[in-house]
Structure 1
Amino acid sequence: MNMRKDKQQQEKKGGWLKQSSNISLEEVNNSVKIPANAGFWRKFFAFAGPGSLVAVGYVDPGNWATSIAGGARFGYTLLSVILIANLMAILLQTLSAKLGIVTGRDLAQATRDATGKKTAFVLWILTELAIIATDLAEVIGSAIALNLLFGIPLMAGILITTLDVLLLLLLQKKGFRIIESIVIVLMVTIFGVFVFEVIASKPVVADLLEGYIPSKEVVTNPGMLFIALGILGATVMPHNLYLHSSIVQTRQYKRDDNGKKEAIKFSVMDSTFSLTVAFLINSAILILGAAAFHGLGSQVSEIEEAYKLLSPTIGVGIASTLFAVALLASGQNSTITGTLSGQIVMEGFIHLRISPWLRRIITRLIAVIPAFIVTWIAGSRGTADLLLWSQVILSLQLPFAVVPLVLFTNSKEKMGNFANSNWVKVLAWIITGVIIVLNIFLVGYIIVTGHDLG
C-alpha cells in the first residue's frame, strides 16, 4: 500500500506531480462529498461554498473608502468601472478554480513546480507581504467598526481582532462547510444592510442605471480616473487566486475527465454567483455614497466620515449603526480568508508544514503588530495611511499571481484538454495587461504624490 502511494505521488504528467493539494489531512477528512447520482441542484449546493470565501476579498474594508469617495465626488459614473472590474475578476477566479481542479495543485504549488525552490522562496516572501497587507485592512476595518459601534479605542480594537484567529481554529476542526456557512451568513448580512441603506437613501434610478454605461469622462477627468484606478487596482486580490485554486479541492468528486468537467462547471457557477453578490454590494456602497453625499459639497473620503454623516443625511437614525455592523461583518469575513491564504502559500511555495494553530497565529500577529504600532504612534490618521500603503503592496504583488495563472491554464502540456480556448487566452492576456498597467499607474501616482486617490 505504501509503495503504491509513493509511486502515485512521484508519477508525473506534463511536468506536474500528481499528488494532493496542501490542504491538511484533517481538512480532507472533513471535505464535502459530492453525491454521484444526485440531481442538478443537490450537486450545485454540494459544490457551492468556495465561491463565497473568494467573494469576501472583493468586499473587504479596504475597498469601502474608495467606493464611498467615488460616489460622493462623481455620483454614479464609476459604477461602470465596478462592473468591468467584476467581469475581469470572474474570469480570473474561473481560471484559478480550473487550475486546482484539473491539476490537483493550487497556484502556489504549481508556481513552485515551474520555477524551482529558490524562486519559489522569493515569491513566497512577496505573497506573504501581500497577505499581510490584506490582513492589515481587515484588522483596521474591524477595529474602526468596534470603535464606531461600542466606542472601543482603536488600539484595543486591534488587540481584540487577534482573538478571532482562535475562533477560526475551532471552526476549521468542524470542516470547511462550517466556515463557508459562517461566511455566507456574514455576506448576507452585509448585502441586507446595504439593500436597506440604498433604499433609504432614495437614489435616482435612471441616473443609477446610466452609471453602468462606460463614459469617456472616466478617462478624461483626472480625479475620476485615479479613483477608477483605485477601484480596478483593488479588485483582484492576489491571495484570492491562491485561495480559490486550493479550496475547490475540498470537494470529493471523481478525478477522471468527466468528474473534473462537472467540478469545473459547478465551481464556475458557484464563484460567478458569489462574485455577482460581491458586485452588488460594491455597487451599493458607491450608490450609497452618491445618493447620500454627492452634490452636498461634502468630501467624504474616509469610513468614519461616512458613518458620522450617513444618518443625518438620509434621515434614518439607524443607518449609521447598520453601516458599522456591515463593516464589522466585512472585516471578520476577510480575516478568515486571509488566514487560510497564509496557510496555503506557506505550504505551497516552501513546503513548510507547522502546527495549524501556530501557523495561523503567526500569520495574524504579523498583520496585527504593524497596525498596533502605527495606531499607537499616529492614531487614526496613521491607520488611514497604513491602509493606503497596504494597497500599494497588493498592487505590486498582483502580476506575480496573475501571469503564472494565465500561463499555466493556457498550457496544453499542463492542462491537457482543459487548456484555455483561443478566445479565453486572448481575453485573459488583455485583462492581465490592463490590470498590470492600471496598477503601475496607481502605484506610481501614490508614490509620486504621496497621497491617496481621493
Structure 2
Amino acid sequence: MTDATGKRRWYTQNGPGALVAAAFIGPGTVTVCTLAGVNFGYDLLWVMLLSVFATMVLQEMSARIGIVTGRGLTDVIRTQLKNLSLTRYIVLLVILSAIVIGNAAYEAGNISGGRLGLETLLGITSAAGSRWLSLVIGTLAFALLFIGSYRLLERALIGMVIMMSLAFVMAAVLTRPDLTALLQGLLRPSLNDASILTILGLIGTTVVPYNLFLHASLVSEKWRSADDLPHARRDTFIAIAIGGLVSMAIIICAAAVNAADISNAADLARGLEPLFGSFARYFLSLGLFAAGITSAITAPLAAAYVVRGCMGWPKDLKHTGFRLVWMFILGIGITFSSLGINPIDIIRFAQVANGLALPLVVAILLWIMNQTAVLGEHKNTRLNNVLGSLILLVTVALGTRTIIQVMASL
C-alpha cells in the first residue's frame, strides 16, 4: 500500500516538463531531424546531445523562476524593468513579436504536420479529406484549451507525448541501426560547410524561446513552494531527455533510408515501408500526428501566457483575454492549414523575430537568475552562469546566422 501511494505521489509531481517536450517536438523538429538523418546519417547525433543538454540548463532556470516567484517569465521581466520604461517596452515588443506572431505563423505548420501524419496513417489522398483533417485537429485543440483545466491539459499532453515517444522509438528500433556508428555519431563531433545549416536548424528547433516562457508559467500553475524544486528538476530533466531521445530516433529512422526525395516525416514513413514493413510506416505516421497535435496545443498556450504576463492578467486559463489570444493563434493555424495557404512570408518574419528574441531572452534570463531580490538563495551558482554564458554565445551565433539566411532569401 505504501509503495502504491508512493508511486501515485511521484506521478502527481510530474507534468510541466512533458508539456515542454511536447512543445519542442513539433513538425518543424521532425522535419529538420528527418533531413539531418537522410543527408548525414548518424553524424549529427552529437548536435542533438548538446542541444538537449543546453535545453535542460535553460529550462531548469525557467522552472526555478516559476516556482520561486510564483509568476511567469514575462511577468517577472516586466516587473524587473519597471524603472526602465523605454527598455521595458522594447524588450516586451520583441518578445511579443517573436512569440505571438511567430507562434501564429508556425501554428499552420503544427496543424499541417498532424494532418500529414493522419493522411499517411489512414491512406487519405484527396484534398477535401485533407482540409477536414485540419479542422478535426484544430477542433480537438480548441476543445482541450477551452475547457480551461490545467490538469486535463497536462494529462492529455502527457498521454500524447508517451504515444509519440513510443511511436518514433519503435520505428527506430525496426530499422536495426548500426550501434557502433550510432555511438560514434553521438560522441564524435563532426562539422563541415555542408552540415552547418542543418546543425543550426537542429539547435534552433530544440532551444526555443517560447518554451522558456511556457515552462515558467506551467510550473507556477503546478507548484507553490520552493520545496518542490527537486520535483521540478527531475520532471524537467526526464521530459527533455525523452524529447531528445525522440529527436534522435527520427534521425536514426531517416539514416536508414537512402533516398534524395525525402523532405518530411510523411515521405520518410512511406520510404521505410518497403524496407521494414508497414509497421514502420504506422509508427512514424502516428508519431508525426502526435507531434503536430501537441504543438498545435502548446504554441497557442505559450503565446497566451506571454501576453498575460505583459498585460498583468490574473492566473486564470478561463480569462477572456487569455482565451482570445490562443483562439487567435489557433484560428490562423486552422485557416492557413485548411486552405492550403503557405504562410512563407510570415514564417520568415517569425524566424527573424525568433533570431532576435532567443539571445535577448537568454541574456535577460541570466540577468534575472542572478537577482537576489527575485530568487534569494535560489539564484544561479557560478556553474549555472558559466553554462548559461556559453549557451548565450551559441544563441547569438545562431540568431545572427538565421537572420542573415532569411534576409538573403528575400
If the length of structure 1 is used for normalisation, what is the TM-score? Answer: 0.79
Match of 2:269 among 301, 307, 318: 307
What is the rounded CA distance, in whole Å, between the counterparts of 1:127 and 1:386 in structure 2?
A: 13
What 5-or-longer segments of structure 1 have no aligned partner? 1-37, 377-381
For residue 234 of structure 2, the aligned residue among 259, 265, 269 is: 269
| 1:137 aligns to 2:99 (yes or no) | no
Partner of 2:311 in structure 1?
350
Corresponding residue of 1:246: 217
Counterpart of 2:158 in structure 1 is 184
- Asked if the contact 2:336–2:343 (Cα under 8 Å) also holds between the matched residues in 1, the reply is no
Q: Could you say what secondary structure the match of 2:20 adopts?
A: helix
Mapped to 2, the partners of 1:417 and 1:240 lie a distance apart of: 25
* Equivalent residues in 2 for 1:199-214, closer than 5 Å: 199-214=173-188
Query: Which residue in the other structure is 1:279 paired with?
Result: 244
User: Whole-Å Cα distance in 2 between the matches of residues 411 and 39 of structure 1?
Assistant: 38
**C-alpha distance in 2, partners of 1:230/1:120?**
25
Partner of 1:159: 135
Identity %: 25
Separation in 1 of the partners of 2:350 and 2:120? 22
Quote the residue 1:233 is aligned against. Answer: 204
Match of 1:417 among 369, 372, 377: 377
Q: 2:17 aligns with which of 51, 72, 77?
A: 51
Greater shift in the superposed pair: 78-87 or 324-333? 324-333
- Judged with a 3 Å threshold, the aligned counterparts in structure 2 of structure 1 residues 393 and 145 are, in CA distance, closer, same or farther, namely farther
Please tell me whether the aligned partners of residues 146 and 323 of structure 2 are also in contact (alpha carbons under 8 angstroms): no
Residue-by-residue CA offset, 1:281-340 (whole Å, 9 max, x unaligned): 0010001111x21xx35352333321321201x231232232111111111111222222
Q: After TM superposition, list the pairs within 5 Å mapping 1:107-146 onto structure 2.
A: 107-116=73-82, 118-119=89-90, 122=93, 123-146=95-118
Aligned partners of 2:259, 2:344: CA distance in 1, in Å? 22
Residue 335 (1) aligns with residue 311 (2) = no
Whether the aligned pair in 2 keeps the contact of 1:50 and 1:248 (CA below 8 Å) is yes
- Contact 1:198–1:288 (CA under 8 A) maintained in structure 2: yes
CA distance in 2, matches of 1:158, 1:386: 20
State the alpha-carbon separation in 2 of the partners of residues 299 and 384 from structure 1: 21
Using the TM superposition, give the Cα deviation of residue 393 of structure 1 relative to its aligned residue in structure 2, in angstroms.
Answer: 4.3
Q: Per-residue deviation at 1:265?
A: 1.3
Residues 87, 387 of structure 1: alpha-carbon distance in 2 compared, 3 angstrom cutoff: same
The one-letter amino acid of 1:286's match is: I
Matched AA of 1:240: N
Deviations 1:203-250 (A, max 9, x none): 1111111111132x32xx212121111101111221111111111122
Counterparts of 2:345 and 2:282, CA distance in 1: 25
Map 1:50-69; keep pairs closer than 5 Å. 50-69=16-35
> Which residue number in structure 2 is paired with residue 26 of structure 1?
none
Which one has a bigger Cα radius of gyration? 1
Separation in structure 2 between the aligned mates of residue 177 and residue 62 of structure 1, nearest angstrom: 27
Q: CA 1:432 to 1:46, structure 2 compared with 1: closer, same or farther past 3 Å? A: same
1:85 is aligned to 2:47: no
Q: Give the letter aligned to residue 398 of structure 1.
A: L
TM-score normalised by the chain length of structure 2: 0.87
Measured in 2, the distance between the counterparts of 1:80 and 1:384 equals 30
Gaps of 5+ in 2: 83-87, 314-318
Aligned CA RMSD, in angstroms, stands at: 2.6
